[in-house]
Structure 1
Amino acid sequence: MNTWSNAQAPVLAGFDMASTIVDQFDEPLLTALIVDDSRFDRARLKRLCLRSGMKVEVVEAATLAEMRAAMDKTEFDLVFLDYNLGLDTGLDALRLVLAHPDQEQAIPIMVTCIARHDVVVEAMRRGCADYLVKEELSEDQLRKSVTTAIERRVLLAALMDARTFRNSVERTITRFSRTCGPEMRAIISSMLRTLRSLQRQDAIDPVLRPELTMLERGAKDIVVFLDELVSLVDGALDEAHRSDDAGKNRN
């Protein structure tokens, strides 16, 4: 049986949360915003949402202005963004969603025509959770897209929690090793010198010698622990720097 660390536990919790959302899609109620300048397409997507089994409350917007007004009133779980919005595009709408202070939890999903693969790539790169192809829209395809988007969002949140937990532990250990650590080392070094001096005295009670030996062994173990702690922190920092450098090189 594999043992998961505390840093990995949030990831497992994220998978459990995703499963709960997927298995019980009618709880809690989802709020969705459909942004499309076509009344027919908005009605069709709304109808598919309701028929897909999702318990969802749908709000419609035909323009970016209507979209802003809707986002100012309601915190949405899902935002469907049609790419063609008259003089604007779905990427313009996506930028508004990501920048809105009340829509941090909103999951944007781009709606495109089948020929616009470039739009899909750009939308995903800029922060869309998934995409829908108008020509392929169906109840099953919609549900799958929404489920995948929610699972991905939950997983990313769990990974961020795990990373935050790890960074917090590293900061705590670093502060300890660089503040209390040197003082503890000085105190223990002084204790070791005193213990060794006492053990060299012939007048010391023989009954106390095993106790002194045990104290000395414990003090040495603490010194070893402090050394390992410093090595652990230095190794973690080096690994973090390497990961940052690798990320910069990929970009």
Structure 2
Amino acid sequence: MNRLVNKGAGTSEFCLNDSLELAGRMQADRPLSILTLDDDRLDRLRLIRTCKKAGLQCEVDEAASLGELRTSLDSTCYDVIFIDHKLGLDNGIDALRIILAHEEQVNAIPIMVTSVTAHSIAVEAMRIGCADYLVKEELTVSALAKSITSAIERRVVFAEIAGARALERELKGIVTRFLSTCGPEMRAILSNTIKTLRGLKAMNRNSDQIDPAVLSDFTLLERGCFDLTSFVDDLESVVHRLR
């Protein structure tokens, strides 16, 4: 396994857009960790050179076989993994499955590299879980940068959606527990309080013995009980819509 460190080209054929700047911030000012899997040394070097020309701040490891791939996956957590489809007796689909099954590579972005005639392979790879694909014969700085930035953007969106769904599930659990434990008791207390206040106010209409300031507090308390009852109703409605 060979590693190449690139701190970013001084001049670039492709000016990286805001998406790559976002990717840089996501990486907390550290280089992208990239693995290129290809049994052709020249093709690996070509991809590395393209990364350099794109101005990517990255550290690149190389692997030529599934065995070297497994060794790399066990030693480093990667941000991006380029997978060549033709790997001698093996193929990129098998490599992709190894990557997706590796517990230390859950955040890695796999990108398949295929020949111009292997679009069906690219489609299958995307179906299995590949983030994107590149056509080897059409590999350019622009294509590579676009592939990486698009994949990272999608990863950010999916992470945000997953986080929102997790928060939704947590809130639903909290509200459900509240309604099942405190809800019935709270409703009973609020209902009895409202009845008591109304009874006292009805009695006062005949005797006029309650201090006006206290009577005003009774009105405020009754209104508060109605508001709390409406709040519990709203919580039940939210939980029902989330089912």
TM score, norm. by length of structure 2: 0.84
Paired residues of 1:26 and 1:54 also in contact (CA < 8 A)? no
1:183 corresponds in structure 2 to 185
1:225 corresponds in structure 2 to 231
Specify whether residues 34 and 17 from structure 1 end up closer, same or farther in structure 2 by C-alpha distance, changes over 3 A only: closer
2: CA distance, partners of 1:197 / 1:25: 66
1: CA distance, partners of 2:25 / 2:180: 48
CA deviations on 1:79-131 (whole Å, 9 max, x unpaired) are 00011112221111011111112111111000001111111111111111111
SS in 2 for 1:102: helix
2:103 corresponds in structure 1 to 101
Specify whether residues 75 and 121 from structure 1 end up closer, same or farther in structure 2 by C-alpha distance, changes over 3 A only: same
Letter in 1 for 2:85: Y
2: CA distance, partners of 1:55 / 1:177: 52
Letter in 2 for 1:204: Q
1: CA distance, partners of 2:25 / 2:239: 41
2:242 corresponds in structure 1 to 236
1:141 corresponds in structure 2 to 143
1:57 corresponds in structure 2 to 59
Paired residues of 1:42 and 1:60 also in contact (CA < 8 A)? yes
Specify whether residues 18 and 227 from structure 1 end up closer, same or farther in structure 2 by C-alpha distance, changes over 3 A only: farther
From 209, 230, 233, the equivalent of 1:204 is: 209
Cα drift, residue 209 of structure 1:
2.3
Alignment of 1:86-165 (within 5 A): 86-165=88-167
Task: Show structure 1 runs of 5+ residues with no match.
Answer: 1-15, 238-251
CA deviations on 1:45-78 (whole Å, 9 max, x unpaired) are 1121122211111111111001000111111111
Task: Show structure 2 runs of 5+ residues with no match.
Answer: 1-17
Range moving further from structure 2, 103-112 or 159-168: 159-168
2:5 corresponds in structure 1 to none
Task: Provide the aligned length of Structure 1 versus Structure 2.
Answer: 222
Letter in 2 for 1:197: G
Q: Which runs of 4+ in 1 moved over 4 A?
A: 16-19, 22-26
From 42, 67, 70, the equivalent of 2:69 is: 67
SS in 2 for 1:173: helix
Cα drift, residue 139 of structure 1:
1.6
2:49 corresponds in structure 1 to 47
Cα drift, residue 24 of structure 1:
9.7
CA-based RMSD: 2.2
1: CA distance, partners of 2:27 / 2:199: 72
Range moving further from structure 2, 159-168 or 132-141: 159-168
SS in 1 for 2:83: strand
Paired residues of 1:33 and 1:79 also in contact (CA < 8 A)? yes
TM score, norm. by length of structure 1: 0.82
2: CA distance, partners of 1:107 / 1:177: 42
2: CA distance, partners of 1:113 / 1:216: 75
From 206, 212, 222, the equivalent of 1:216 is: 222
Letter in 2 for 1:101: E
Paired residues of 1:36 and 1:63 also in contact (CA < 8 A)? yes
SS in 1 for 2:232: helix
Cα drift, residue 203 of structure 1:
5.7
Range moving further from structure 2, 20-29 or 199-208: 20-29
2: CA distance, partners of 1:131 / 1:22: 21
**Bigger radius of gyration:** 2
2: CA distance, partners of 1:206 / 1:72: 79
